[in-house]
Amino acid sequence: MMSRLITLVCVLLLAPSLAHSKALCPQSVTTVEMNQCLTIKLERAVNELDANLDLIRIRYAEDPITLKLIEQAQKNWEAYRKKQCQSVYQLYDGGSIQPLMTASCAIELARQRNSILRETYLQNR
């Protein structure tokens, strides 16, 4: 009885996380397909991040103080992303969902950072 209760609690705790990964890759059925899809999504998010940073460097080339602060903020964000997603990785240690959750973490944080970079430094300036 207790093992069933523990299993049920684990399933209920994992359901939102699985749903988020599934929302990112709705066509994926297997874990392998999901991993492939999330890898592509992460690559796209990182490429967009790099492109936004390149545009910011061009736009603020004549403002070295602001550019230096943006670069420092980016390094701090990268350290945050690494630690945040490491904690997600550890949370799912040993489970087959571990890579999915870690990739989802990195994708979500990259998307958030891209949004902040666009809204703060690239739009209407």
101 part of a folded domain: yes
16 part of a folded domain: no
9 part of a folded domain: no
Distance of alpha carbon 100 from alpha carbon 39, whole angstroms: 9
69 part of a folded domain: yes
Q: Total structural domains in the chain?
A: 1
Q: Which residue has the tokens 């690239």?
A: 122
Structural domain boundaries enclosing 116: 30-122
104 part of a folded domain: yes
CATH number of the domain residue 58 falls in: 1.20.1270.180
97 part of a folded domain: yes
pTM attached to this predicted model: 0.79
Look up residue 20 and give its two tokens.
């988020």
How high is the pLDDT of residue 125?
63
**27-83 pLDDT, tens digit each:** 877 888 898 999 999 999 999 999 999 999 999 999 999 999 999 999 999 999 999
For 21, residues 6+ apart whose C-beta sits below 8 A from its C-beta are 34, 38, 97, 100, 101, 103, 104
Residue type, 66: T
**77-109 pLDDT, tens digit each:** 999 999 999 999 999 999 888 999 999 999 999
18 part of a folded domain: no
For 6, residues 6+ apart whose C-beta sits below 8 A from its C-beta are none
